[in-house]
A and B are shown apart, each in its own frame.
Chain A
Amino acid sequence: MNVIIIDYGAGNIQSIQFALQRLGITAVLSNNPELIQGADKVIFPGVGEASQAMQMLKNSKLDALIPNLKQEVLGICLGMQLLCKHSEEGDTKGLGVFDVNVKRFTNAVKVPHMGWNTIYNQNSDLLINIPQNSYMYSVHSYYAGLTEQTIASSNYEHEFSAALQSNNFYGVQFHPEKSSKDGSQLLQNFLNL
């Protein structure tokens, strides 16, 4: 299987590559539009600040390519947030695949939301064989609210989208590559889609 991890300079993507390697898949890191378009599966990672990451996408003209991809795409963490309509972080216009805005947690709770939290109300093939209230590892200060595209919820300060889906686009707020066996199951599910 030909899996591409989009490499646009945002964050630590080595861990995702390692996690796929543990599943027997050698994923390729690339920002080449032709390679990305030709892949069986595309992973869209991201760590860091939203407006800077979006600028890096624009610099490599991936902002126009990504929302038009036809194969299954998995956005992880900031990658998922960039697929939303808008992010409060740096007042960033998103790629608009998911019909939800990204907001910051208030200071009523510690920010970032860091550590292992439960996900529930799973409702997608991406999340099969992952029991209700499984713990996933997250690190983020911004969140996407609940929408009809929410396929798993989590709770910190209030409920938010732990995962989203719109047609062939999937997004997870947590880091499956760092979430032990349940995270590994999610990546396997994604490969099986």
Chain B
Amino acid sequence: MLAKRIIPCLDIKNGRTVKGVNFLNLRDAGDPVALAKQYAINGADELVFLDISATLESRSTTVEMVRNVAAQIDIPFTVGGGVSTKEGVEQLLKSGADKVGVNSAAIKRPNLINELSLAFGSQCIVVAIDAKEIEGKWRVHLAGGTIPTDLDLFEWAKEVETRGAGEILFTSMNNDGVKTGFANQALAQLSETVNIPIIASGGAGAMSHFETVFKEGKADAALAASVFHFGEIDIKELKQELQSKQINIRL
């Protein structure tokens, strides 16, 4: 049986992880390779690296980091953040990334999704969508959630599927950082709307939130950052807990 996936997300700047990562047994918490290894050993099913570098120079450092991660890590990983061209995607894939996440660039120029899936295959194109529920309507946001658009989450999801996305990473801005659980209702509706896998993001605060995101939110995978980084939730324990709740999990 296909297992539900648990995915830690790491923010990367200048080839280093940022935003308080706190693993007691790591001497250098900023080293993405060491962190990735730790997560892989603990049972993470995949990893997502979100590149928040602002300059071209620091982006090339990220490419170097991707190579190092690929050389040492034997589970799949996605790299996203600021990806906007076919050349940029090719560089990341050639360096060893399994999938590439696109977000704002796809909203600005939707045909980018077609071009990328045609060139590299749908399986490696993850379209990330940040959306916020405003007066009952889920509105897609641009640029890390800072700029609202007129796009509706479900319509946009359907469109990215049609254009060749292989997977959707949906972050609920209402839930992100609040730690009171994922946006299960919207996630379930998203799963009904499209026929590609959905990664749920935003809201993880307790182990029970992962149980509900799979059971009620019908998500295929769940992504979280801080609860894993600060050791609030241990991935191994989480996966044992989920298995005891009859959820298919790779142990």
Contacts and interface: CB of A to CB of B under 8 A. Distances in A.
B207 interface: no
Given A111-B195, A112-B197, A117-B2, A11 B220 contact: no
A174 B123 CA distance: 13
Contact of A115 (B72, B124, B197): B197
Interface in B66-102: 70-72, 74-76, 93-98
A56 interface: no
A114 B74 contact: no
Interface residues of B, number: 33
Interface residues of A, number: 36
A178 B45 contact: no
A117 B221 CA distance: 13
Given A14-B96, A118-B1, A112 B123 contact: yes
A51 to B, nearest CB: 12
Contacts of A135: 3, 250
Secondary structure of the A contact surface, majority rule:
mixed
Nearest to A134: B250
B74 A177 contact: yes
A21 B71 CA distance: 8
Nearest to B66: A14
Interface string A100-119: 00000001001111111110
A181 to B, nearest CB: 7
B121 A49 contact: yes
Contacts of A15: 70, 96, 98
Contacts of A141: 122-123
B205 interface: no
Nearest to B45: A116
Interface in A98-150: 107, 110-118, 135, 137, 139-141
B166 A114 contact: yes
A19 B74 contact: yes
A180 B74 contact: yes
Contacts of B123: 47, 112, 114, 139-141
Contacts of B96: 12, 14-15, 18
Nearest to A136: B250
A21 B221 CA distance: 30
A81 interface: no
Contacts of B74: 19, 22, 177-181, 183-184
Interface string B113-132: 00000101111100000000
A112 B1 contact: no
B11 interface: no
A117 B75 CA distance: 14
B85 to A, nearest CB: 18
B167 interface: yes
Contacts of A67: none
Nearest to A118: B1
Most buried by B among A21, A118, A139, A156: A139
A12 B167 contact: no
B3 A110 contact: no
Contacts of B221: 115
12 contacts: A12-B93, A12-B94, A12-B98, A14-B70, A114-B123, A114-B166, A116-B3, A117-B3, A141-B122, A156-B2, A178-B98, A179-B75
Interface of A: 11-12, 14-15, 18-19, 21-22, 47-49, 107, 110-118, 135, 137, 139-141, 155-156, 175, 177-181, 183-184
| A-B CB proximity, top 10 nearest | A135-B250, A48-B121, A139-B123, A116-B250, A116-B3, A14-B96, A117-B2, A18-B71, A178-B76, A114-B197
